[in-house]
Amino acid sequence: MNKQLFNSSKEIRQDKLGRLLVYSALTVVLVLACAMLYFIFSKGIATFTQDHINFWDFLTRSNWNTDNLQKPDLGAWALMVTSAETTLLAVLVTTPLALVIAIYIVVMSPKIGGRIVQPLTELLLGIPSVVYGFVGLTVLIPVLRRWAGGTGFGVLAAALVLALMILPTITSLAVEALNGVPQSYQTFAYSLGCTKWQVIVHVLLKISAPNLLVAVIFGVARAFGEALAVQMVIGNTVQLPLGLFTPAATLTSKLTTDMGNTIDGTLASNALWSLALLLLVMSLIFNLLAKLVLRRSQSRESISR
Amino acid sequence: MNRYRVNQIMTGVLNGVTFLVVLFIASFILYLLASGMTAVNWHFLTTSSEVGLGIRDQLFNSLYLLLLTQLISLPIALGAAMALTLYADSRSKLASFAQGLIQILSSLPSIIVGLFGFLILVLKFNLGFSIISGALALTFFNLPILTQSIAVSLQGVPDEVMQSGLALGISKWHTITKVILPEAMPGIWSGIVISAGRVFGEAATLIYTAGQSAPTLDYTNWNPFNPASPLNIFRPAETLAVHIWKVNTESLGQDAATVSRGTIVILILVVLLFNLVARYFSTTMRKKVGR
């Protein structure tokens, strides 16, 4: 009898079990995240610790020659430059367009925007990246070839494919950012006699600028990390991209083409893992940037209130 | 030039540019569908890529991988999201650390996730290029996305619901399972469907985990340990998205284009279907909240 009184009820036992379950699920996710960061990091630095490649050389040289084991000539500079160049071009092409569409959806015509324009861009968001790569390969490349000569494969093709790919990413985040501006600000500006364009420039864009910047950063992150679509159209030659039509290779495309052909533990494989580490670090930097921008805008907001 | 003139011109520019981009997107999607429609027929869907140009096995592999991935990731994501939104204090160090880590994980390039899967599952655990490697790698890819979207829909349920449950003397767990979860269910479903769309089209995660070959399957063989059985989780499995990438990088000429166009139609139709279903769930969610 006494024993039964001191036992916890079924309800409480269930509650404890539930708490245990959800926290262990969270632990699984966190352990996974840490494992991913740890393993890629430890694999990535093996090139420098085991194979004694000079870290500085790796960052600044542009050759990728792992065949000669006595004097390997390894450098990720060309790959990094190509990654940066394609990403930058794509973002430059897409950002103005995405902003215009977002403004259209939020301000110009919310009705048509919400019914037609937004669903259409969201549909683009769902299309797998290989599909973009395929269209680049079969439609864009022949056009570029006719237009500029050469093979058509290269930096420009990759940048244009990426531009289309990140259009929905930036657009949907920009729509969110613009919607975040309180409606009353707009009404207030109109009541002061502002034209629509003045409201857009002086109220909407100004207030949501940090969030728009974050939208662009996420677009950059997506473009920088995309592998297959880029690999299909860039030509895959490790060299500094001197022109827009030079076949080149990015960090991601190099990883995609070569990882299957190397044997685990060799220099060739370790060097690829170093590329993966570079990619990881870049992705972390983009994350950090977005966070910093958001934090600064929030602290400014709380001061002005 | 006065400001009204500027306004007029800029309105014209904004409308015009939007119109052109929308026209471009619409023709892009119509082009994909129209150019591939001719390739899609019953024969295309029901023959193996080993004997003909069909995609039967790739289609099955995609669906099977999607199912396994969601089966593994859903309970974990649900638990993690519940822990983050309903259990942990959202201002605590642990919660913000966990949220930051999940955010990082969700924005990693998918090729990184694939390489991690290759390293851990294929090389370290010796699972080889197999369905199980692919499903686990896709789970790594899917978990943070799903956790975030479930957390958002759980946050959509007002705090008062939990408080009234507790005030009635009902345990937290009981309130969550009987009141909060049903309330958040449409949002959770919409999150599941959207993540399913992403998983279905994912290729970079799979090329080095589930592999790039699709051995012919025997659909009468239900023994999960037989290598020809579709249910076997230790066989390599190329999916639709990987198939498109594979045939185009191997460049089989005219056939590659035809096969890819047909496959793209199937992929887009499935994604479209997922989009519609997600939209349906989110409108039910809105109705529920607006009640």
What pLDDT score was predicted for residue A305? 47
DSSP string over A225-262: H--HHHHHHSB---S---STT--B--HHHHHHHHGGGS
Distance from A3 to chain B by nearest Cα, in Å?
Answer: 22
Size of interface A-B (CB pairs under 8 A): 239
Query: Are A22 and A161 in the same domain?
Result: no
Collect all residues of chain B within an 8 Å Cβ-Cβ radius of residue A254. none
**Number of domains present in the structure of chain A:** 2
* Ranges A23-27, A240-244, B105-109, B150-154: which has the least confidence: A240-244
| Whether residue B143 is found in the same domain as residue B226 | yes
CATH of the domain at A158: 1.10.3720.10
B174 contact residues in A (CB cutoff 8 A): 11, 14-15
Give the domain range for residue A23.
3-44
A289 lies in the same domain as A170: yes
Chain A segment 123-162 residues within 8 A of B by beta carbon are 123-124, 126-131, 133-135, 137-139
Write out the residue range of the structural domain in which residue B55 sits: 41-288
What CA–CA distances, in Å, run from B253 to A236, B249, B259?
19, 10, 10
Residue A193: inside a domain = yes
Same domain, A126 and A177: yes
- B70 with B117, same domain: the answer is yes
- The length of chain A in residues reads 305
Does residue A86 form part of some domain? yes
Instruction: Judge if A119 and A190 occupy the same domain.
Output: yes
Same-domain check for residues B114 and B1:
no
Say if residue B88 is in the same domain as residue B211: yes
The secondary structure element, H or E, covering residue A74 is: strand A73-74
Residue A244 within any structural domain of the chain: yes
Are residue A129 and residue A17 in the same domain, yes or no?
Answer: no
In a shared domain, residues B3 and B85: no
Q: Do B141 and B156 fall within a single domain?
A: yes
Q: Is residue A202 in some structural domain?
A: yes
Report the domain count for chain B.
2
C-alpha A28: how far from chain center: 25
- What pLDDT is attached to residue A1? 55
Q: What is the 3-state secondary structure (H, E, C) of chain B?
A: CCHHHHHHHHHHHHHHHHHHHHHHHHHHHHHHHHHHHCCCCHHHHHCCCCCCCCCHHHHHHHHHHHHHHHHHHHHHHHHHHHHHHHHCCCCCHHHHHHHHHHHHHHHCCHHHHHHHHHHHHHHHCCCCCCHHHHHHHHHHHHHHHHHHHHHHHHHCCCHHHHHHHHHCCCCHHHHHHHHHHHHHHHHHHHHHHHHHHHHHHCCCCCCCCCCCCCCCCCCCCCCCCCCCCCCCCCCCCCCHHHHHHHHHHHCCCHHHHHHHHHHHHHHHHHHHHHHHHHHHHHHHHHHHHHC
Query: CA angle B74-B76-B82, nearest 5°?
Result: 100
Residue B250 has pLDDT above 50, yes or no: yes
Specify if A176 maps to a domain: yes
Phi, psi of A235, rounded to the nearest 5 degrees: 100, -25
In a domain, A275, yes or no: yes
Same domain assignment for residues A186 and A284 = yes
CATH of the domain at B186: 1.10.3720.10
Residues B35 and B132 in one domain: no
**Lowest-pLDDT choice from A42-56, A123-137, A163-177:** A42-56
Q: Least CB-CB distance to A260: which of B3, B7, B208?
A: B208
Shared domain check, B25 and B114:
no
Could you tell me which residues come within 8 angstroms of residue A292 by beta carbon, excluding any fewer than 6 positions away?
none
Are A95 and A38 part of one and the same domain?
Answer: no
Both A26 and A85 in one domain: the answer is no
pLDDT tens figures, B95-141: 889 999 999 998 899 999 999 999 999 988 999 899 999 999 999 99
Q: Is residue A228 part of a domain?
A: yes
Same domain, B147 and B15: no
Q: Which of B174, B248, B275 sits opposite A137 (nearest CB)?
A: B248
pTM: 0.90
